[in-house]
């Protein structure tokens, strides 16, 4: 019975998400503006990703206390963003334990995966050809979720 309730809750969340408004991807200007307004320092890290190809933009937003960072990537095409998302999601999944908490949303134009395990909170979120990535201490979970909401991810 408990498994049935969990399954029904997951179906309800997916239905509500699928029927919700379409998510809009932000660009590097939006990311920089929003994060700067939140007091974050912005670092352009595009050079680090040139050797991989397919990355158009890559930025880190470092919180005012230097405790964590939120990463923003814009890739050449949706397909590259999907692949980048999937690769990092799989890396996150490899760190799961039997007491981990995860969420997963997969739609055609966006995906979002979160994992809380041990002392870590991890998020990989894709909208079209952009990806937000973070891996922070779980004590910052509420804080980063507020910021992710402001970003639309």
pLDDT digits (tens, 9 = 90+) for 52-87: 889 999 999 999 999 999 999 999 999 999 999 999
| Closest by Cα among 151, 116, 152 to 137 | 116
φ/ψ (deg, to 5) at 62: -100, 130
At 20 the pLDDT is 56
Residue 73 near residue 84 (C-beta atoms within 8 A): yes
Range of the domain at 90: 2-151
More confident residue, 28 or 15: 28
Which CATH number characterizes residue 77's domain? 3.40.1000
Beta-carbon neighbour count of residue 141 at 10 Å?
15
At 22 the pLDDT is 84
Distance CA(85)–CA(105), nearest Å, equals 12
What is the largest distance, in Å, between two alpha-carbon atoms of the chain?
52
Residue 40 near residue 64 (C-beta atoms within 8 A): yes
| Closest by Cα among 55, 24, 11 to 153 | 24
The structure's pTM equals 0.85
Domains held by the chain: number: 1
pLDDT at 19 over 50: yes
Residue 70 near residue 35 (C-beta atoms within 8 A): yes
Beta-carbon neighbour count of residue 117 at 10 Å?
18
């Amino acid at each position: 019975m408990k498994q049935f309730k969990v399954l029904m809750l997951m179906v309800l969340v997916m239905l509500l998400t699928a029927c919700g408004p379409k998510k809009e991807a932000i660009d590097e200007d939006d990311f920089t503006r929003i994060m700067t307004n939140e007091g974050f320092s912005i670092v352009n890290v595009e050079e680090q990703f040139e050797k991989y190809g397919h990355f158009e933009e890559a930025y880190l937003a470092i919180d005012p206390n230097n405790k964590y960072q939120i990463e923003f990537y814009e890739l050449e095409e949706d397909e590259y963003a999907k692949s980048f998302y999937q690769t990092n999601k799989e890396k996150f999944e490899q760190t799961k334990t039997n007491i981990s908490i995860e969420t997963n949303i997969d739609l055609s134009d966006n995906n979002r995966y979160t994992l809380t395990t041990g002392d870590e909170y991890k998020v990989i979120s894709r909208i079209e050809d952009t990806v937000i990535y973070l891996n922070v201490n779980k004590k910052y979970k509420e804080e980063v979720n507020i910021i992710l909401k402001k970003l639309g991810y």
